[in-house]
Amino acid sequence: MSAEIETTRFRVEGMDCASCAGKIDIAVRRLPGVEDVSVSVVGGTMTVRHRDAETEAIADKVTSLGYRTEPLAANAPAPTPASDHDHDHAGHAGHDHAKSGDALAGMHGHDHSFESGPWWQTTKARLTLLSALAVVLAFAAGQFFPALEQWAFVLAMVVGLVPIARRAWMGAVNGSPFSIETLMTVAAIGAVFINAAEEAAIVVLLFLIGELLEGVATGRARASIKALANLVPRMALRESGETIIEIPAEQLAVGDIVLVRPGDRIPADGLVGSGESAVDEAPVTGESVPKRKQADDPVFAGTINQDGALRIRVTAAAADNTIARIIALVEEAQESKAPTERFIDRFSRYYTPGVMVVAALIAILPPLLTGQPWDEWVYKGLAVLLIGCPCALVISTPAAIAAALSAGARRGLLMKGGAVLEQLGKIDMVALDKTGTLTEGKPKVTDIIAIGKTEAEVLSLAAALETGSSHPLALAILNRAKADGIVPPPAENAGAVGGKGVVGTVAGVSLFLGSPKAAAATTPLAPELSARIAALNDEGKTVSVLLADNAIAGVIAMRDEPRDDARSGLAELKRLGADVIMLTGDNARTAKAIAADLGITPRAELLPEDKQRIVGELKAAGKTVAKVGDGINDAPALAAADIGIAMGGGTDVALETADAAVLHGRVGDVANMIKLSRATMANIGQNITIALGLKAVFLVTTIIGVTGLWPAILADTGATVLVTANAMRLLAWKGSNQA
């Protein structure tokens, strides 16, 4: 009987480009018992599904390629990036996996070790500096001892080439014979044989400088994502009986009460137990304006309490809080490849061997067929080898997607992978749920009609009857009274009358608050009042009538109102070329009123399966459909759509069901997702143009004899750095806030 499939995540240090990830992927896949491999360059992780393969054997295989590797504990957060801070990596010193890699670490071109400190203190930087010093010394030797110049440059070349050649060899024996290192090694050694040792040494140095720049750029992308992990404070103040003790935030359990002082970061997801304060949610949701929080309001880990002490009841452990879920989602997303990225990977698999064949033909055919000088054409062939390096092309897509996923996550837009990010830009039909998506999800008082009293008196008496109730309509009245600064008087003998309303006595006056039908059974409604109530009902509003000593005192209308940015968000979707439709289970009259208010078409009184069917019909009509909902009653439709987008606070169900999630519930952020997708695809197009355009130019100039080895490697290194830098521009993407 075969062993069960396990999934193990590894921390891999030193992956700076898609080429690194490709070599690791191919080598690990060749191990017996390995079912699937997923490598994230920006995350610095590898996820392996394996049946019989030992975790130790997998780590040893990656280490043999020159990358330090160790398994991550289940549910462990991904490593935070190396920086100037006090990261303690001493514990890795005796790690078993070091045995085959450490001896070569000093001679390795990549920064493949668990290192801390700034980039200029890394192994890669030291090797580049050593190679530069060797080239300078070779130049000096050539000035003073011309006879030794050739050998001095050969030695200078060897200093930088040994680790590159070792990587080429390890890649070749592990299934990647056509790597960038192979091309580099062949070109440098070939240059020596045609008496171009000086150029060979310079080419190797330029290659190392290019890799160093590539590592710096990748490190920036990695740091920008991992900075999310640093939003959660390390310590928390937990109440224990009458005392408050400081404990590590990761030890907080569901149900704990924590004190958060003004200016402190909130250490866990939770609900406000007591206190009132403004909370800056920008680090998590991108919301620029602080939100007022009071009892029973939800708060996120990593947000900043501003002006009042809050006592918060923890609702999620450290591993499940909003920040942890965002990081996990972003990492999973980066490990799943977009269609464009998969195409580029397949293309490069044939492209690199093709380049080697073309370079060989350029070097051999002219001398053989037309008697041209061998030196000249072998030189051109070696230059073509360097021009053909696929690094810039291979990294053009993943670098842009990683930057976009990170930028989106920092603004509360979560997308599960490059495929989702790519598909979002094609959306031309958006189907939105009503309650909690287009609307706030809780009723508000919209109209107060006073009869024989003031509006404030009507609201005060109604609030007196509703005090202590948790019914949504009661909360709407109480919230309006609080907003208007009204303190309800005490009510006596208050209670509910089943299916009709609530009763009570205030200052000796007998009160009733209930439906118009129940009120009319006691006191007939005037025709004009009945007409006004009917008009309010036609606007989708729920109406309650207040009786005082059996006389009509007033009317209160309530409705679940559209979100503040619903109109502008829908207008932005239409501007982007997407049609919009409302799919709701609510009654037709309310749906029609809200839809008319927002200027969209409603489909009402739908069951979950009806929503799913309508999404299917829209897709069959040729539309690319995004379904936006709360992720629970909309689950079937979210799954059926081309892209399912969960709206709201990132509940577990929403995040699991949907392809994407809008954490802070802004309708405008659905449009922002589409904009981010289109910006990313445009960036990828620019990157591919840069990568292939530079190669095409230098290929022509090399063959006609205008440029040689130096410009060739500069073209490759320059293209890689330009492509990475262009992709990093997406990290600054902010979208637009229509709120």
Active site residues: 433
Residue among 685, 693, 692 at smallest CA distance from 726:
685
CA 559, chain centre distance (Å)? 35
Q: What Cα–Cα distance (Å) separates residue 642 from each residue in 102, 402, 612?
A: 48, 21, 12
To 10 degrees, the CA torsion angle through 250, 253, 258, 264? Answer: 30
If phi over 0 gives left and psi between -120 and 50 gives alpha, with beta otherwise, what is residue 583?
beta
- Cα–Cα distance, 731 to 227 (Å, whole number): 13
Determine phi and psi for 557, rounding to 5 degrees. -110, 140
Q: What Cα–Cα distance (Å) separates residue 148 from each residue in 136, 157, 203?
A: 14, 14, 20
* SS3 at position 116: coil
* Sign of the CA dihedral with 257 first, then 262, 264, and 266 last: positive
Both structure tokens of 67? 């990358």
Both structure tokens of 504? 């009570």
Task: Give residue for tokens 């509006």.
Answer: 455
Both structure tokens of 147? 């006879």
Residue among 671, 660, 662 at smallest CA distance from 638:
660
**Cβ-proximal residues to 202 (8 Å cutoff; 6+ apart), any chain:** 135, 709, 710
CB 469 within 8 A of CB 660: no
Render the burial of 657-676: b for 16+ CB within 10 Å, e for the rest.
bbbbbbbbbbbbbbbbbbbb
- Cα–Cα distance, 719 to 733 (Å, whole number): 22
How deeply is 146 buried, as exposed, middle or buried, from its count of CB atoms within 10 A (0-12, 13-18, 19+)? exposed
CB neighbours of residue 477 within 10 Å:
27
> Please, what is the end-to-end C-alpha distance for the chain in angstroms?
59
**Cβ-proximal residues to 357 (8 Å cutoff; 6+ apart), any chain:** none
CB neighbours of residue 307 within 10 Å:
12
Residue among 515, 543, 530, 519 at smallest CA distance from 443:
543
Both structure tokens of 162? 């040994």
CB 47 within 8 A of CB 32: no
- Cα–Cα distance, 443 to 440 (Å, whole number): 8
Q: Percentages helix, strand, coil for the chain, rounded to the nearest 5?
A: 50, 20, 30
What angle is formed at CA 660 by the lines to CA 327 and CA 440, rounded to 5 degrees? 105
- Cα–Cα distance, 65 to 100 (Å, whole number): 9
